[in-house]
Structure 1
């Protein structure tokens, strides 16, 4: 089974390997990876987390009250701009054969974030305060077997909290994307841009664009243009409207934009598309099915 990037056996346990609280001032970390998974909570200030992907790297801004879950062996780095600061509460997790939470029970509990990739979320379920309690428990001078049980209980509580917050964030993201899609479908003929979509929803354009691409695999502009081209094809086939009017009716702001976007999608210009469809239609009327059947009859 996969647990936070680890290949774990059912007999394995998820345990805390290390913990720290640190204030980073103007910090530029190098890309690195390590065997432990991490939970990073921003307790003050701001930072950026970069991580490597197959095609380069990605970035996420982590603000106060937000947290990140980074799986084992992820190549990543932390960046705090010069003059800035960020207070990080960190837990490093590992797989153990002795102490910790049974991996089989975690899997049975359906904590889906554990088998996934990176998690970024807003703390709406006391994630930060639970991490602080874990820090206090782990740093206690009276740490004993009883404290170990308390640590395990807090870690289990933390896992459930993260799962709930992650699920809530996914639901909120789905709502945002559905709302954006509905706006685009209603307004694409009016020459809207991706910024117009974001403004209508009172969201930052970069945030909405990131969420949209994450859920649909394409940018908002790509989806807008797809709808425009599909509508243009319908009008070209079913009306005698001039092409310049069709472009305007579909939301293209210039004739050139209409031509270039249409050709990119269909491999030909709007005029060539109309001509080819007309030729195909004309040829189908040259012979009726009855005439074709008669021609094929033996003499």
Structure 2
């Protein structure tokens, strides 16, 4: 096993943790890096543009939001063509004896199935397409590292734990369903947008524009992946939010519809009754009675 490999067996026997030793943003243009290897695990993330990475006899095209996880001591080379700049964020880490309260590599593997499975596969490299979360974690990690303050060490440990688990789950998803992965990303991005904007009018055209798809195509793949149409999903989410607001807040019943993006109080009331079997006022009264009983 390579020294400092992410797949070393002793990482699961003792208390070890990845420590970032190098990190940098860099824009490359007409660049050809000779094959090289180093004693760190490396993540190369493409922020914009495109590049080629030669690794293990394969030439890999990385485009915007693609990234590669390279194990330690794996020979690789980077090529960026003229007039096609590529901006990247790279981090490199080794493994150290764990200090402090943050979880060790062994604990992460024991607690997360996808992470444990990734370690068992021993891939020399992984190429994945980001769904926006990975880059946010990487940026947050770099921001914490830039502070160079011993008090923020636990935050860097937690962020790199989150990063590795995120990568492992993405890898698991790409193996379980490789042909559906890109389509699934469109659906997940749409769901994320709905969850952040359910309190206002939402139309299928706006949702489709957010992921650069035709409305009819988004409608089809959304139904295939979730079992519900976009409208059914939005309605279900709004009704669940209404139930929470009725049960846990003192917002007047007549105002609840404004909090969940429905303009008509009458339509909201009729839809809520169809969904729960109770009118909004009845639902709130029933929850208040339940809380009074439980408080005795």
Paired position in structure 2 for 1:233 = none
Aligned to 2:68: 68
The answer for the alignment partner of 1:123 in structure 2 is 130
1:155 partnered with 2:160: yes
> C-alpha displacement at 1:139, in angstroms?
0.9
Determine which of 104, 108, 115 is the counterpart of 2:106.
104
Equivalent position to 1:38, from 42, 48, 54: 42
CA contact (8 A) 2:98 2:104 kept: no
Task: Give the structure-2-normalised TM-score.
Answer: 0.53
- What residue number does 2:25 align with? 21
Larger Rg belongs to: 1
Give secondary structure in 1 for the equivalent of 2:22. strand
2:145 equivalent in structure 1? 138
C-alpha RMSD of the superposition: 2.2
User: Is the 8 Å Cα contact of residues 16 and 94 (structure 1) preserved in structure 2?
Assistant: yes
| In the alignment, structure 1 residue 113 sits paired with structure 2 residue 118 | yes
Residues 53 and 76, structure 2, Cα contact 8 Å, conserved in 1: yes
Do 1:47 and 1:63's aligned partners in 2 also have CA atoms closer than 8 Å? Answer: yes
Distance across 1 between alignment mates of 2:58 and 2:64:
20
CA distance in 1, matches of 2:139, 2:88: 11
Aligned length: 170
Superposition TM-score, scaled by structure 1 size: 0.53
> Take 2:68 and 2:173, find their aligned partners in 1: how far apart are those partners?
15
Q: Is the 8 A contact 1:4 1:70 kept in 2?
A: no
Superposed displacement of residue 8, structure 1: 3.4
Deviation track 1:260-288 (CA, whole Å, cap 9, x = no partner) reads xxxxxxxxxxxxxxxxxxxxxxxxxxxxx
Tell whether 2:84 aligns with 1:84: yes
Contact kept in structure 2, 1:68 and 1:119, CA below 8 Å: yes
Q: By how many angstroms is 1:50 displaced?
A: 0.3
Partner of 2:237: none
Deviation at 1:32, TM superposition (A): 0.3
Distance 1:101 1:51 in 2: 31
**Where does the alignment leave 5 or more consecutive residues of structure 1 unmatched?**
177-299
Give how far 1:125 is off.
5.2
Is the 1:8–1:103 Cα contact (8 Å) retained in structure 2? no
- Paired position in structure 2 for 1:8: 10
Using a 3 Å threshold, how does the CA distance of structure 1 residues 28 and 174 change in structure 2: closer, same or farther?
same
Q: Deviations over 1:107-129 (max 9, x none)?
A: 32331334421111110251011
Could you tell me which runs of 5 or more consecutive residues in structure 2 were left unpaired when the two chains were aligned.
182-296
Looking at structure 2, the residues matched to 175 and 71 of structure 1 have their Cα atoms a distance apart, in angstroms, of 27
